[in-house]
Structure 1
């Protein structure tokens, strides 16, 4: 065999350094984990910034995550399902009822951000349908980023709890709004409404029923097993995987099912639920792969033409969310400094927005073809900035574990171990 043939054989083998091979994927995970750990140890910045940075390098090198690949989409759906379930399980609806101003703040920031993004998109000449899709997607704040940053930094306090609640609320509303828009477009067409009506009904009702079933199954496990036990974690992960497989097979919403499951579980009882973060080590690896995939999804070729519009949409979105928080800060019991921190924490967008656009594009390819490059360019702009802004916002609010900040460690000196 000639050297050229040997090289061609090696490149085509599972051991070549391409990202879609076993060796390439393993090296990417190692590099992402090492960079994330370096940022955490040196600066106490969220590890996910290292994961996203590796994804950005891949995108610049011309290697992009392809959600049409079954393995890539499975990783995205399962990792996001774990994070969305955690998000739903932290939203106490009774708290929103007891504090109606907080609920009003959440609804106002959702409406204002949608209106601001829609008007900005229209001002730049985008069509009605494309502008509406972007506006509804912009309602959501990334639960993946918020959960990861809050969990790693040990944040706790009023701003943190409100941020988690608002993130769960606006994500739920964004998913429902996108589903409603997609269903409305299908039902409004004379040639598709008869076939679309059963599918839309099954999708919404089935997602709710499957979410309730998943939440009930996990509640049953929690009453009989210690959730910190390794076997219980494996069982929980298995139930989530099973629910995602069923949702995919029945064309249900892989976003709505885990979110509703968490909500159902949390609000059936006053008991606070304590979860093994991201369902153990396996969940941690999936979350790492999720952020690498999102970081690599954008196209450097599309960015120069779209970066101005993407930045304008992001700015309109954040200003609207911040305005809603400040308008109702005092009635909802927030000081101005806390309101500023909460507003900054509403900046992140990530995998949830990507999956919302993917699902909408699958049902409406013409609109999806316009929305996707613009949305991915916006995610590329906010992906690295959002987690850092959130980290500093929680630090400014005084809700980080002080012993884990670089300044505290420099004053206190190294920790001693027994």
Structure 2
């Protein structure tokens, strides 16, 4: 009788574990309080508080794996909203007027990928792992960039370029990894025939669904006042329906919202005004997202892959900064601005985690070697990257130190 009662207590929703209702609720409260403390006392982005809670969970061995159903759904929804926002802020006409900015994007993403590939091979990483690792390292987290810029009310040339580069890098990484995955499946005589329809449908279906979602949201934005909270709920509902369709049809849950935002932003000459209620509605999901990513690694991962990951973090950061400096003058940046932009390209967060999880799921033979390196890189980058972005933008005068919450 006593054993049965104890079993009920430790598995009940109020048991003190991260995967129970009480445990998850207390974690959310702790993350929210720590994030608010960081913002009000230190003027640091709230993300640092969220990531710190995640890091404590990771050190305690209570981190997430990414296979938890409910948590993965929350992560996908939060990331979809943030990627949609990143796409909706990407002005392709600006790239047409300043082709050197596009050249900077291509150079820094490509140079980072090549540098990580060479460094990984030199450190003994197998080519089957070094390839996807290099592609994942190309991207810069739009989630971190958008939240820091939004919270700190940053504005200016470096800020706009940073948001543009992070959105473009994510697009490059998602497309390149999808192509690599498709190439591996189609190159195997045992899988290519069955994989061909799936690969083709997934690739083109993601573009079509993204364009359809962008068109629908454009229609809603023209007909309804987005300052109205109910209209924003409608927009959110459309994004969620598209995410469900993407998961059901096995399309890219990263590519669809990003393309939808780009489609919406660039179909009209009018600037897209981001609805203020989006941040309110998605705030809880964003908190869950960054706590989850901050807890995804483990001490064992640092032991097995920490040295390789630390080297790759440095190589990636230096390569991106070098590319920005190389094209600073032609693209219209002063050296100090180039330094701030190069430093701000450090973040590698939820997008990289989800990319690694999806690639590991599609290629189980690669996953056990790929995931530890990616998770160790996140362990080194996740906590300091919001601070690096904030201090870099502040150094060039694009964040007012006196900005209030």
Give the TM bin, normalised by the shorter chain.
over 0.9
**C-alpha distance in structure 1 between counterparts of 2:283 and 2:228, whole Å:** 16
Q: For the structure 1 residues 128 and 277, does the alpha-carbon distance in structure 2 shift closer, same or farther, using more than 3 Å as the test?
A: farther
Paired position in structure 2 for 1:340: 339
Task: Tell me the CA shift for residue 124 of structure 1.
Answer: 0.5
Determine if contact 2:349/2:378 at 8 Å carries over to the other structure: yes
Runs of 4+ in 1 over 4 A off after TM superposition: none
Paired position in structure 2 for 1:247: 246
User: Structure 1 stretch 378-387 or stretch 277-286: which is displaced more?
Assistant: 277-286
Determine if contact 1:151/1:277 at 8 Å carries over to the other structure: no
Q: Say which SS state the counterpart of residue 30 (structure 1) adopts.
A: helix
Give matches, 1:359-370, under 5 Å. 359-370=358-369
The answer to whether residue 381 in structure 2 is matched with residue 382 in structure 1 is yes
Paired position in structure 1 for 2:307: 308
TM-score calculated relative to the size of structure 2: 0.98
Task: Tell me the CA shift for residue 303 of structure 1.
Answer: 0.8
Task: Tell me the CA shift for residue 179 of structure 1.
Answer: 0.2
Paired position in structure 2 for 1:208: 207
Q: For the structure 1 residues 277 and 384, does the alpha-carbon distance in structure 2 shift closer, same or farther, using more than 3 Å as the test?
A: farther
**C-alpha distance in structure 1 between counterparts of 2:277 and 2:100, whole Å:** 31
Determine if contact 2:141/2:351 at 8 Å carries over to the other structure: yes
Task: Tell me the CA shift for residue 402 of structure 1.
Answer: 3.7
Give matches, 1:20-169, under 5 Å. 20-169=19-168
Cα deviation 1:303-331 (Å, max 9, x = unaligned): 12321110100111011000000000001
Paired position in structure 1 for 2:319: 320
What 5-or-longer segments of structure 2 have no aligned partner? none
Cα deviation 1:157-179 (Å, max 9, x = unaligned): 00000000111111100000000
Q: Say which SS state the counterpart of residue 366 (structure 2) adopts.
A: helix
Paired position in structure 2 for 1:268: 267
**C-alpha distance in structure 2 between counterparts of 1:227 and 1:132, whole Å:** 43
Q: For the structure 1 residues 277 and 77, does the alpha-carbon distance in structure 2 shift closer, same or farther, using more than 3 Å as the test?
A: farther
Paired position in structure 2 for 1:408: none
Task: Tell me the CA shift for residue 277 of structure 1.
Answer: 4.9
Count residues with an aligned counterpart. Answer: 405
**C-alpha distance in structure 1 between counterparts of 2:42 and 2:186, whole Å:** 52
Give matches, 1:272-291, under 5 Å. 272-277=271-276, 279-291=278-290
Determine if contact 2:140/2:347 at 8 Å carries over to the other structure: yes
Task: Tell me the CA shift for residue 226 of structure 1.
Answer: 1.4
Q: Say which SS state the counterpart of residue 401 (structure 1) adopts.
A: coil
Task: Tell me the CA shift for residue 278 of structure 1.
Answer: 7.3
What 5-or-longer segments of structure 1 have no aligned partner? 406-414
Determine if contact 1:187/1:194 at 8 Å carries over to the other structure: yes
Q: Say which SS state the counterpart of residue 365 (structure 1) adopts.
A: coil
Task: Tell me the CA shift for residue 92 of structure 1.
Answer: 0.7
Determine if contact 1:66/1:72 at 8 Å carries over to the other structure: no
Task: Tell me the CA shift for residue 340 of structure 1.
Answer: 0.4
Paired position in structure 1 for 2:357: 358
